[in-house]
Amino acid sequence: MSAFSWLNSQLLKMEWLYDLIKRLVEDVFGLSMTTRFGNSLHFFIYDTIKIFLLLSFLIFGISYIQSFFPPERTRKIIGRFKGVTANLLAALLGTITPFCACSSIPLFIGFTSAGLPIGVTFSFLISSPLVDLASVLLLASIFNWRIAIAYVVVGVILAVISGTIISKAKLEKYVESYVFNNPLIDLDQDELTTGQRLRFAKLQVDDIIKKVWIYILVGVGIGAMIHNYIPESIITAVLGQDKWYSVLVATFVGIPMYADIFGTLPIAEALVTKGVGIGTVMSFMMAVTALSLPSMIMLSKVVKPKLLGVFAGVVSVGILIIGFAFNGFSHLFI
């Protein structure tokens, strides 16, 4: 076994943890892994611990890096560029901000009031909850590296194209007027010591875990139920790879939900094992993270209905295209 394979199996997929929880279920709880309840319990405990461990370590590292890029510095960096380049940079910077859509909206307000084009700020707003560095490793731990990298690439492309379309549409007048008079308040982080950056990273871990723990538990619980209790025939009848409408169903089912990618991953894992296409699963995850109803309601407080409709429409079409494309070329990723 190569060093990379060992690191992938032991650090990302945590096979040692899988075996440990298996012994716990069988030897301590006296349950067989061949029963639905025993397998569901193993799925729930293993996935919950794995996601929390990975998430804590990843958010800590990402937040330490993020301490070098406070909002004002980020705005200044993006402000040096124009056009698609600015959209791309905003989307890439969004990948190092591990926020949900609702948390990203205050930064959207600050960036817009500071003079950045709304299309550029929308690229950031889409990318931030949809794609982050933590999601790459978590996706790789559950699926594989090809799927993880592909998800990030198409997520960034979606953010760039959506932001560019909004920029070209000249929709600035559909942003609420108070947004332009709400300057970005930022603390100078140039002089932070290493100790302060480490404390900042720890506080970010605490803050994000407090926000997402319930969604992770719910997501793992739903994943365990799908994995062991819902017959494969029922799921494939609705979302099977041979159903052309599966991407549409997954996208519109995801929109009313509110979670982040960490809460949707266990559900996605269970759906894939039941024969659901990878493109259908990607559409579901993207709809939940980028177009969830609560975040759309919050966004409606800062933009007018026409701009909100354009945003939702452009992103929805992009998600559908991504879903159909990945279903069509799924053999390249699995």
Structure tokens at 199: 């404390």
**How much is the pLDDT for 313?**
93
**Rg of the chain on CA atoms, in Å:** 20
pLDDT reported for residue 69: 67
Amino acid residing at 183 = P
Of 5, 103, 10, 1, the closest CA to residue 59 belongs to 103
Alpha-carbon distances, residue 189 vs 77, 180, 275, 329 (angstroms): 15, 24, 48, 45
Task: Print pLDDT tens along the chain (334 aa).
Answer: 566 677 667 776 788 999 999 999 999 999 998 899 999 999 999 989 988 888 788 778 877 877 776 666 777 777 788 889 999 988 888 777 655 555 556 667 777 776 788 898 899 888 887 887 777 777 888 788 888 889 889 999 999 999 999 999 888 888 887 776 655 445 455 567 889 889 988 988 888 788 778 878 888 888 888 888 887 777 777 787 778 889 999 888 887 776 666 778 888 888 888 888 899 999 988 888 888 776 787 788 788 999 999 999 999 999 999 999 999 887 777 6
pLDDT of residue 56: 86
Place of tokens 């519109």: 252
Is-contact 277 324, C-beta < 8 A? no
Per-residue model confidence (pLDDT) at position 101: 53
Identify whether the C-beta of residue 285 lies closer than 8 Å to the C-beta of residue 238: no
Q: Nearest-CA neighbor of 249 among 301, 287, 212?
A: 287
Return the pLDDT at 51.
84
Q: How far apart are CA 278 and CA 7, in angstroms?
A: 25
The tokens describing 26, both together, are 């069988």
Tokens in use for 11? 């650090």
Per-residue confidence (pLDDT) for residue 185, from 0 to 100: 46
Residue 225 sits at the vertex; the CA angle it makes with 265 and 290, to the nearest 5 degrees, is: 30
Q: How many CB atoms lie within 10 A of CB 243?
A: 17
Compute how many other C-beta atoms are within 10 angstroms of the C-beta atom of residue 193. 8
- The amino acid that residue 133 corresponds to is L
